[in-house]
Amino acid sequence: MPPDCFRHEALGVVFQVRDKRLSVLLCQRAEPPFEGAWMLPGGLLLADERLGASAGRHLAAKADIPEIAHLEQLETRSDPVRDPRERVLATAYLALVTPGARARLPADTAWHPVDELPPCAFDHRSIIGSARERLRAKLSYTNIGFALAPETFTISQLRDTYAAALGHPVSATNLQRILTRRGVIEPTSDVTRPAASGGRPATLYRFASRELVVTNPFAAFRPRGTAGALTV
């Protein structure tokens, strides 16, 4: 192998909100190095393959994940000794899946709440940290929540989803108003039936778009009335 030529892997940080906790998909290693530790799903980049496609392919192969609602590139790690066996560059992807379809997982693969991560192989723990930061930030200024929520949902369910992903309590009252004003969510004509204990039926909402949209553009120091206009 020529000296200025490297293997390159795509890693997926797959987040799903499960049982009101943000969880990440991990695979347990059966061999050294890091035997018994947990690693992010992923694998080597092939010739004529793009990194995003490679991440998607490995996730589909490893965990039979039915549908990834959102996939975006995070960062590339290049420490020459991040893999002690051989140099491998790694490009990490943030992948979000909705709580609907539960994939059948191989025996070595499981969901782990991000608050209770097991020992992780390589630099994967810090990659998960980066992914979490990215998710937290984008929840604040985009509609990225669509990729963590089911097709329709009540505001209470959405509050639990946001609270799990953000890591702090969220007010259902304000969540509804802010996301509605921004045009991120909209009510459907359906309502839920209340539980046996009673209570008012909840309106079902949906996301207005299931594509990533920036709803809160960075606008510091911009004069009024120049919403998107630039002097380009």
Partner DNA sequence: CCAAAAGTGTTGGGAATACACCCATGC
Partner DNA sequence: GCATGGGTGTATTCCCAACACTTTTGG
- Report the nearest approach of DNA to the CB of residue 176 (Å): 6
Two tokens, residue 203: 């309106």
Nearer to a copy of itself, 49 or 64 (CB): 49
Q: Is the dihedral of CA 96, 101, 105, 111 positive or negative?
A: positive
The partner in contact with residue 176, picked from DNA, a copy of itself, none with C-beta cut-offs of 5 to 8 angstroms by kind, is: DNA
Q: Is 136 exposed, middle or buried (0-12, 13-18, 19+ CB in 10 A)?
A: middle
Q: What does the alpha-carbon distance between residue 47 and residue 36 come to, in Å, rounded to a whole number?
A: 31
177 binds DNA (CB under 7 A): yes
188 binds a copy of itself (CB under 8 A): no
Helical (H) or strand (E) element with 125: helix 124-141
**125: number of Cβ within 10 Å:** 15
198 binds DNA (CB under 7 A): yes
Q: What does the alpha-carbon distance between residue 203 and residue 155 come to, in Å, rounded to a whole number?
A: 8
Q: Is the dihedral of CA 171, 25, 69, 133 positive or negative?
A: positive
197 binds DNA (CB under 7 A): yes
107 binds a copy of itself (CB under 8 A): no
**63: number of Cβ within 10 Å:** 21
The partner in contact with residue 231, picked from DNA, a copy of itself, none with C-beta cut-offs of 5 to 8 angstroms by kind, is: a copy of itself
188 binds DNA (CB under 7 A): no
The partner in contact with residue 3, picked from DNA, a copy of itself, none with C-beta cut-offs of 5 to 8 angstroms by kind, is: a copy of itself
Which of positions 114-143 make contact with a copy of itself (CB under 8 A)? Answer: 115, 136-137, 139-141
The residues that touch DNA, with contacts defined as CB under 7 A, are 154-156, 171-174, 176-178, 181-182, 191, 193-203, 216, 219-225
The residues that touch a copy of itself, with contacts defined as CB under 8 A, are 1-8, 44-52, 73, 75-76, 78-80, 87, 89, 91, 115, 136-137, 139-141, 162, 166-171, 174-175, 178, 216, 218-223, 226, 229-232
